Amino acid sequence: MAVLIQVRDAQKRYGDQLLLDGAELSLVDDVKVGFIGRNGAGKSTLLRVLLGEEELEMGEVIHHPSLRIGYLRQHDPFRPGESALEFLIRDSGQPDWRCGEVAGQFELKGAYLEGPVKELSGGWQTRVKLAALLLHDPNLLMLDEPTNFLDLRTQILLEHFLRDFNKAALIVSHDRSFLAATCSQTLELSRGKLTMFPGKIDPFLEYRDERREHDRRVNATVIAKQKQLQRFIDKNRANASTASQARSKAKQLAKLQTTEIELDEPTVHIRAPRVEPRRGNAVRCDDLAMGYGDHVVADNITLEIEHGERAAIVGDNGQGKTTLLRTLVYSLDPLGGSVKWGHGVEIGTYAQHVYTSLDERQTVIEHLEYVSDSNTTRQDLLAMAGALLFRDEHIQKKIKVLSGGERARVCMAGLLLGTSNVLVLDEPGNHLDVETVEALAEALEQYKGTVIFTSHDRHFMHRVATSVIEVRDGKVKNYFGNYDSYLESVEKEVDEGERQRADAAKRSQAGGAPPPRPKASDYRQNQRDQRKAEKEIKNLEKKIARLDDQKRSLSDKMMTETDPDEAVRLHEQIAEITDELNAAEERWMELSGED
């Protein structure tokens, strides 16, 4: 077991903040480590130190000679007009057939591989970056918040990729479900110290809470004993007959020490708006069409959300989740149909188009005072600001100097201090650490109003959602099941896709030696053939569904038909449709690679 990176006695500070204080770390060649810590604790700084992009003030970082780091870039590495395939070839220096082979592991094919990569969604661009990492054959992956803006399907693909990646990984994430699925050990940065726990994140958090509670109980006992000894000393040290006992007790007192409880920050507590529960429809959509200009994202939407629901909007990136939220709050005009909110509804919105339009002349505390309800105390304001990382002099910062993440947190704080009885939240967990996401989930569980939200954090979705609305293939509908059943259905789809690719690879190699490596022209022709086959499969699926409906309708009609001649005619029609249906299904199975 080789040590790929070792950090010894690391010291690093920014201004008055001590980020690394004698920190120690060893990363070995076969362990995947989940890296957690409060926002601002220094996680990204440590990654840059490990990458050699920043230097330590004291201490050293030792790299193994065989170390090959693969770092998931957050910036945009793509050139204008460049396709994903062209980027992979340029970035890796590998031939196009090899780049296409690796890209296939992330379902990158057709227009996603050969079209302009800058036109892809953030999730698909992340898939391209992951394929680029793999082409460099790293033995240590460093991923900084890899699930940000990834849809569920891409998260599962990334999990499967990491599960099959038999080298080391260091993953910074606030997504507990993702870390639990991918990492066998947990690293925490707290108060400048690094703690490596030989287990997954959930047992680590339980262990940490139990350790802190144990330390609190021990401290309480020690403090009680200290008081008891001090009272004896004060009472008896002036008495000649008991002075020696008092001196003995003083020695005992000197040995009693409390344990420092390592709380990186005060415990986060968030409260939701205080509202009265309501009944009936919060919002109703009738024959709604939504989109941009002439582009219809989804139509024929008939939907009701009841007061008190916490409705999770789910679906792949690019399907229209954010478009639906913006249409519901009138940020986008409907292309058709209507959106009707119930009487007395007060909507609070958290989305990028909101937190980029804050009044830049105000300070953080001035904004919170302006948007909070009249019963909010100064202590409430400071507590909420502190929970979202605005403490001490930071509450006096002007909004115009805040980063995008800081503005997002200001917007969230103001929203939670308000009086809204409906909260519409687009990715509320972004820019928040593990503890703050947990506190937000707990606050929303206690909230008496209605929540309509999107999130890529599965742990958060599982805790908060009471109903699920799916946006898919131009349609929006209630998903008849809870979030766990939706998650299970997507996992099955991903597993089936991976099984089909594996079966196809086995069939292509059946009979002995592996197939010769394809030429570039052969690869592009294969891509064109694959796109053609995928189009035919979709048309066949529509045809099969239509023939199935026709056959079922005719069969129902024949069961009640009393005219013998008409019954014979219906029987002949059913036979013709059955033959056509069988032929379509056989062709579908052939194209899909089914046995």
Best mean pLDDT range from 37-46, 355-364, 462-471: 462-471
CATH number at residue 322: 3.40.50.300
- Residues near 356 by beta carbon (within 8 Å), at least 6 away in sequence: 404, 407
Q: Which of 139-148, 237-246, 346-355, 530-539 has the lowest mean pLDDT?
A: 530-539
One domain, residues 475 and 547: no
One domain, residues 38 and 179: yes
Q: Check pLDDT > 50 for residue 595.
A: no
One domain, residues 471 and 359: yes
One domain, residues 467 and 547: no
For 453-487, what is each residue's pLDDT tens digit?
999 888 899 999 999 999 998 999 998 888 999 99
Q: Check pLDDT > 80 for residue 519.
A: no
For 167-199, what is each residue's pLDDT tens digit?
999 999 888 889 999 999 999 998 888 999 999
397 — phi, psi (to 5°)? -70, 140
pTM for this predicted structure: 0.67
Q: How confident is the model at residue 74 (pLDDT cuts 50, 70, 90)?
A: low
DSSP for 106-150, please give it.
TT--THHHHSBGGGS-HHHHHHHHHHHHHHT--SEEEEESTTTT-
Q: How confident is the model at residue 86 (pLDDT cuts 50, 70, 90)?
A: very high
Q: What per-residue confidence (pLDDT) applies to 464?
A: 95
26 — phi, psi (to 5°)? -130, 125
Residue in the block written with tokens 């790929």: 4
Q: What per-residue confidence (pLDDT) applies to 387?
A: 78
User: Residue 198, CB half-sphere, CA atoms under 13 Å: how many?
Assistant: 1
What is the rounded CA–CA span in Å between residue 449 and residue 566?
58
One domain, residues 175 and 305: no
How far CA 579 is from CA of 544, 573, 585, 591, in Å, comes to 12, 10, 10, 19
For 273-312, what is each residue's pLDDT tens digit?
889 999 999 999 999 999 988 889 999 999 999 999 999 9
Q: Check pLDDT > 70 for residue 521.
A: no
One domain, residues 552 and 438: no
For 259-272, what is each residue's pLDDT tens digit?
665 544 555 678 88
Q: How confident is the model at residue 250 (pLDDT cuts 50, 70, 90)?
A: confident
One domain, residues 456 and 314: yes
What is the rounded CA–CA span in Å between residue 412 and residue 231?
50
For 374-417, what is each residue's pLDDT tens digit?
788 888 888 888 877 787 788 888 888 887 777 888 888 888 88
What percent of the chain has a predicted confidence (pLDDT) above 90? Answer: 31
Counted domains in the chain: 3
Q: Check pLDDT > 70 for residue 522.
A: no
Does residue 298 contact residue 351 with C-beta atoms inside 8 Å?
Answer: no
Q: Check pLDDT > 60 for residue 516.
A: no
Residue 253 located in a structural domain: no
Q: Which of 56-60, 104-108, 200-204, 303-307 has the lowest mean pLDDT?
A: 104-108
* Domain ranges, residue 546: 528-592
Average pLDDT, the chain: 84
One domain, residues 575 and 471: no
Tokens of 121: 């969604």
Angle at alpha carbon of residue 490, lines to 484 and 491, rounded to 5°: 85
One domain, residues 458 and 586: no
Q: Check pLDDT > 60 for residue 373.
A: yes
